[in-house]
Chains A and B, each alone.
Chain A
């Protein structure tokens, strides 16, 4: 049967993807690699492309904005990943209890995840407005003078982190499906042994859903490095580059300054950072991720 004529028909069916892989993935990757070692502004056309070796990567070492964008992105990832995970897990735990109205709550919590990033950004620009935004009005109600949020370099990044907390519905759903996979017998056995709620959480729930935590942490880090729309629409990297996310800086280099070579080099550094973090989390996962023995692997 294997590799018989009829089996080879499979190639025809996956042909669209194979062509796409060459045209839109492998081809561009090779071209991008070439660009990363070249100097080229797109306006003068392909013939003016110039090989410069490692110059683009050397430039990065002296590029303050590059460091700034790394700093912004790392701060965002370091704060938002743990914060969003804890918040999502907490809500998922509450949603996983067999109370009435859980479907309704699940619906509400997930809603922000389907709202277009641009629309959410517009909403939050207004919420963060220092004079008439609802946030500072609520703070004023308690006698607190709120900051200028998006216009204040020391608050802008924090404001974006707070805004992201509003949209963690995706993560909640992933945790919820993880929680529902924990076998009921484990809790019953723990109850018989007299375990309290915290013991049950740390000794059963957390180990059992550790693969889900693992997945969400990776996605969170990748998300930080791909963060774009909100930063572009709400602050455009400002004030004083305090929200200059890596991806935004890359975009500016490519499509505002047209430094295609340097921007390609930046994109490979982004790729390597994401890869390194992913491998780091995968490597370390054997220490803290518990896979059920009978987990069906595909």
Chain B
């Protein structure tokens, strides 16, 4: 059971491991399936034993969307998401290029500092950042959730892109340089188009991060018309006499986009996560 890639093993060991995997997959899927089933039930059915509803009440979704103000929260989430995506991708690529291609003084030290900041728990800077943003009147605006993305876009992202850029042959830069291109043109015309794989990975991680972020919006957004989806959903639980079917419909709607992105772009996830563990290797 505990080995890999041996043909010596008899068939039943293969069968046993297959059964284990199936059982595990059932454990993963049943909660999701049950949530989906509940989202389509009538309130009375929620309290009954049947797994699936008798009639699929798609109207639960319509009612849930209206009750939470789903579209307001969606709009708020996108107002944060789009600039954060742009800021993160551009500024992390720019910094990655600086670390990958230039030999300025203190580069090694600065790169170590960059890696060290990955170890710093966000709680340490959370309180002073809040005070700072409060003093300049940005609390209850989207700005504290957006602006930091334009300043480096996160140490891990810089690291990820820099590793990839180091693999791009220097001949390409040099021949462009001979042709009269400056450093910025080399960056936009050569490095960026060739670095698509890590840039896509960074975009996906950023999307997930913003979509799923809870503590950030919780700290900075006070008025409910500014809530993001993640924050709005949790408040929905507290505000209304919980109707489970509608709550589950809303829950399904919020998990759907990340799941879709995951299914479309799974290879980037798997690679990105493997790289994150390789930093320490």
Contacts and interface: CB of A to CB of B under 8 A. Distances in A.
Q: Do A and B come from one complex?
A: yes
B105 A3 contact: yes
Contact of B98 (A13, A112, A119): A13
B24 interface: yes
Interface size class of A (residues with CB under 8 A): 35 or more
B247 A122 contact: yes
Given A10-B102, A114-B259, A177 B129 contact: no
A47 to B, nearest CB: 12
B109 interface: no
Nearest to B14: A99
B255 A119 contact: yes
A268 interface: yes
Nearest to B34: A134
A178 interface: yes
A118 B244 CA distance: 15
Contact of B32 (A111, A197, A232): A111
Interface size class of B (residues with CB under 8 A): 35 or more
A250 B122 CA distance: 12
A42 B4 contact: no
Interface stretch (A22-30, A60-68, A74-82, A144-152): A22-30
A8 B102 CA distance: 7
Contacts of B113: 21
A201 interface: yes
A25 B115 CA distance: 13
A212 interface: yes
Interface of A: 1-3, 6-14, 16-21, 23-25, 27-29, 31-32, 35, 42, 46, 91, 93-99, 105-112, 114-127, 131-132, 134, 137, 166, 170, 173-174, 177-179, 184, 187, 191, 197-198, 200-201, 205, 211-212, 214-216, 218, 222, 225-226, 228-229, 232-233, 247, 250-251, 254-255, 260, 263-264, 267-268, 270-271, 274-275, 278, 291, 295, 298
Interface of B: 1-6, 8-9, 14, 17-18, 20-21, 24-25, 27-32, 34-35, 38, 46-47, 49, 91, 94-95, 97-99, 101-105, 107, 110, 113-114, 117, 119-132, 134-135, 148, 150-153, 158, 163, 183, 187, 208, 211-212, 214-215, 218-219, 230-231, 233-234, 237, 244, 247-248, 250-251, 254-255, 258-259, 261-263, 266, 269-270, 273-274, 276-277, 280-281
